[in-house]
Homo-oligomer: A and B are copies of this chain.
Amino acid sequence: MKKVDIFKKLRSSGLRPTKQRVEIAKFLFEREKTFHFTVESLENQLAKKSTCKFALATIYNTIHAFKKAGHLSEVDVRGKKTYFDTNITNHHHFYDGETSELIDIDSSEVVIQKIPKAPNGKKIKNVEVFINLKN
């Protein structure tokens, strides 16, 4: 992902390309594979990788803007912290409660044969399959 694309991600999220935001965007999107993170893990990794400082509020503001713009998705995991996902395709998850680790499952790996129809007046927005793991 080129600098131009990073700038596009920011601009399309309504954000000026500041030092902090560019660093965050590069950390999130300049990689081969998508990944899952919490704000806490992101903060720690940014602190290591980057020279500049990041206020927590800046991290929260930036990822919320990315989420609103559709560049990040959120995953529901039992627990207190919110998990974010740079994989914004429709997909599913394994969740390893031992390690608190999320693993992606491509949509094509899950085939649902039967599903109930949505209640009166409602439509199905999407279907999420969550597979809990044990040892």
Contact = CB atoms under 8 A, between A and B. Distances in A.
A112 B112 contact: yes
Contact of A132 (B109, B110, B116, B126): B126
Main DSSP-derived SS at the A contact region: strand
A59 interface: no
Interface string A96-133: 11000001010001111111101101111111111111
B114 A109 contact: yes
A47 interface: no
A33 interface: no
A44 interface: no
Interface of A: 74, 76-78, 94, 96-97, 103, 105, 109-116, 118-119, 121-135
Q: Please name the 9 residue pairs, one residue from A and one from B, whose CB atoms are nearest each other, closest first.
A: A111-B114, A125-B134, A113-B113, A125-B132, A111-B113, A76-B76, A122-B133, A109-B116, A128-B130
